[in-house]
Amino acid sequence: MQTDLSRFDNSWYNPGVGSLKRTLWYFINAFIFKKHWLPVSSAKCALLRLFGAKVEKGVNIKPGVNIKYPWKLQVGSYCWIGEGVWIDNLDEVTIGDHCCLSQGSMLLCGNHNYRVETFDLLTGPITLESGVWIGARSIVCPGVICKSHSILAVGSVATKNLEPYGIYQGNPAVLKRKRF
């Protein structure tokens, strides 16, 4: 079997809103969120809400953040979203209260099926329960649930669910110890 990208068909995928809203968001994301000239979190939270995100109080969004689709995003109270975070939410992303996404971390809701010639798109939701900390340059893969107060250490990759109060490290991430 060989990959044949000429046969790739993504027509089944529905991003959830029309092309005008997606295009408008593309430019707002590119010129406000991904840039460093607007450091005001409250303005960014207001824009996310305007585009359908559910964003609670006390959310701090640093510069250089990339969010694919705000209408597929829920962010709980008092969350920190660090510089260079990428929320590639082709599916629903739910972030609980008091979560921290450190610099350069990625929440990736999409992947491709390498087992088929057409390299089909696969998506899955991501949930970060309350108190979760995603370390700098770490990746959370599609379908993963990071349970209450779990930690994904710097540069690690979560391919499976993280248990409550567990500290995970590596690629793929494995439980190293409990958080006390």
Tens of each residue's pLDDT in the chain, 180 residues: 899 999 999 999 999 999 999 999 999 999 999 998 888 899 999 999 999 999 999 999 999 999 999 999 999 999 999 999 999 999 999 999 999 999 999 999 999 999 999 999 999 999 999 999 999 999 999 999 999 999 999 999 999 999 999 999 999 999 999 998
**Which domains occur in the chain, in start order?**
18-178 (2.160.10.10)
Note the pTM of the prediction, 2 decimals.
0.96
- For 40, counting Cβ atoms within 10 Å of its Cβ (0-12 exposed, 13-18 middle, 19+ buried), the class is exposed
Looking up tokens 């990339």 gives 66
Q: Which amino acid type is present at position 94?
A: T
Asked if 38 and 32 touch (Cβ cutoff 8 Å), the reply is yes
Report pLDDT for 112.
Answer: 96
